[in-house]
């Protein structure tokens, strides 16, 4: 049985974080400044969930709705760019599902009934997907020249799940499609769907 977490602070975003992915945030709202400070003190992650209604920045009439499956964000770097603003670099960790969420008096979302989802096991890349991995290596190299912080130093191009996740971050598909790909429990199916997409569009 997967372990449960009592409560988990959430950061709803207009993006889908994947395990192993990098995320850079500019924090200026008081609720999220406190969140980052608390996570730093306790050396704990927070949860990133994809918004399907509402905005990232708190508004007067805030009708927020988000997905029930997200990814833990592990803090890598926190820099104070200027007073009251933090630049935060995170890496995606384990996936989780939540039963419910409520806001504290500051407006921070707290999830309860959180259950961690097993990480994808290391899975050797099938030779039929070698072109997909090679194309990923080329794409990451080109993008890293423009934004060196976009990807971490890790390159697991022989791991099917890792290749699938990195491509899922890059594909020009809807957030709903990315969410469904992230939630898939079979990494080889995730990679197969990515491969079909790339071949349909003559990328490989």
Structure-token match 């997200």, residue found: 70
Instruction: Identify the pLDDT of residue 62.
Output: 66
In this prediction, residue 45 carries a pLDDT of 97
List of long-range contacts for 100-105, beta carbons under 8 Å, 24+ apart: 101/10, 101/66, 104/31
pLDDT confidence of residue 152: 87
Q: Which residues of the chain have pLDDT under 70?
A: 1-4, 58-62
Q: Is the pTM of this model over 0.85?
A: yes
Structural domains in the chain, sorted by start: 4-116 (2.30.130.40), 127-200 (1.10.4060.10)
pLDDT of residue 108: 95
């Amino acid at each position: 049985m997967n372990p449960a977490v009592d409560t988990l602070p959430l950061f709803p975003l207009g993006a889908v974080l994947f395990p192993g992915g990098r995320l850079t945030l500019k924090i200026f709202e008081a609720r999220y400044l406190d969140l980052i400070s608390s996570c730093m003190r306790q050396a704990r992650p927070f949860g990133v969930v994809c918004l399907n209604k509402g905005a990232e920045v708190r508004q007067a009439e805030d009708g927020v709705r988000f997905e029930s499956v997200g990814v833990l964000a592990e803090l890598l770097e926190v820099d104070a760019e200027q007073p009251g603003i933090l630049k935060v670099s995170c890496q995606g960790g384990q996936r989780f599902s939540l039963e419910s969420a409520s806001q504290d008096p500051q407006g921070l979302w707290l999830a309860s009934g959180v259950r961690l989802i097993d990480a994808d096991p290391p899975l050797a890349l099938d030779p039929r997907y070698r072109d997909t991995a090679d194309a990923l290596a080329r794409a990451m190299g080109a993008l890293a020249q423009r934004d060196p912080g976009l990807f971490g130093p890790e390159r697991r191009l022989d791991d099917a799940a890792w290749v699938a996740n990195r491509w899922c971050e890059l594909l020009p598909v809807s957030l709903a499609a990315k969410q469904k790909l992230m939630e898939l429990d079979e990494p080889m199916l995730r990679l197969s769907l990515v491969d079909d997409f790339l071949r349909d569009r003559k990328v490989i």
